[in-house]
Amino acid sequence: MLHNIVEVTIENSVAKFFLNSPETSNAINSELLKGLNKFLVPIGLDDKIRAVVITGRGKTFCAGGDLVKMSELPGGAVAGFYKLAAEFHKAIIEIYRMGKPVIAAINGPTVGAGLSLSLACDFRVMAKSAFLRQGYTSNGFSIDGGGTFMIPRLVGLGKAMEIVAFDKKISSEQALLWGLVTKVAEDDMVFEEAVNMAEALTKKSMNSFACSKKLLTDSLNTSLEEQLEKERNAVSGCAGHRDGKEGIEAFKQKRRPQFI
């Protein structure tokens, strides 16, 4: 499937998204976001697709928002950023709420909106030579794309404030140490490692993953009592799902469950 500067292929139940504008370092603009949003909803609803990998073509994962293009949109910079943020946030929500694992294969520099996009994913495999940088504040902007939601949840408020205030490059080693990424891989292996992770996850129960992901993401905004009730409803619902039934039978028979 192809939509201008976003390319999507499907293999072994894994949808592979390629940000395909290396000449702009895969900068976020309206065209790229239309491509993302075109595919995210149907792929999220397709039961045959059990995991998603997002990466960038060329040497960069994503260099952030295209400030020049946004400032030249009708209505000027204010209207341009306001409109584009809505398109961007739609993609972020689809990724963050998708009931299947989404993995960012960070193949190169990841800055600004590119960082926010990667953090919306469930897992991040990062190339050893790549770096992360929030970028916004050095250009006089505040962070969008859920960055202010995800960064403090991953690294804590104090470290998040440091990332925002000083805007230093974050090496792959630092990113792994701080919990911003899941794994660091050799540069020429980062996409393969991400796909291997995705294919391993396709063998898991998607219903279990979806329920657990929602519980985890919602837990940060609920009281203990509310969370316990959500867990109660979710675990009993899983017991009635075919995956839960298979898990019980496999446990009884002392074998590995086979989820489809």
Q: Which pLDDT tens digit goes with each residue over 204-249?
A: 999 999 999 999 999 888 888 888 898 899 888 888 999 989 988 9
Residue bearing the bigger pLDDT, 98 or 139: 98
Give 177-182 contacts, CB < 8 A, sequence gap 24+: 178/154, 179/154, 179/155, 180/119, 180/124, 180/132, 180/151, 180/154, 180/155, 181/106, 181/124, 181/125, 181/126, 181/132, 182/123, 182/124, 182/125
**Element at 258 (helix H, strand E):** none
Residue type, 33: L
pLDDT of residue 258: 92
- Give domain status of residue 259, yes or no: no
> Is this model's pTM higher than 0.85 or not?
yes
CA atoms within 13 A on the CB side of 198: 30
Indicate if 139 and 179 belong to the same structural domain: yes
Domain CATH code at residue 55? 3.90.226.10
- Residue indicated by tokens 């396709």: 202
Q: Are residues 44 and 115 in the same domain?
A: yes
Domain ranges, residue 47: 2-201
Task: Evaluate whether residue 258 is within a structural domain.
Answer: no
Q: What is the mean pLDDT of the chain?
A: 92
Question: Tell me: the pLDDT tens digits for 69-107?
Answer: 777 777 777 888 888 899 999 999 999 999 999 999 999
In a shared domain, residues 249 and 123 = no
**How many angstroms separate the CA atoms of 180 and 214, rounded?**
20
A 10 A CB-CB count for 124 gives 25
25 with 146, same domain: the answer is yes
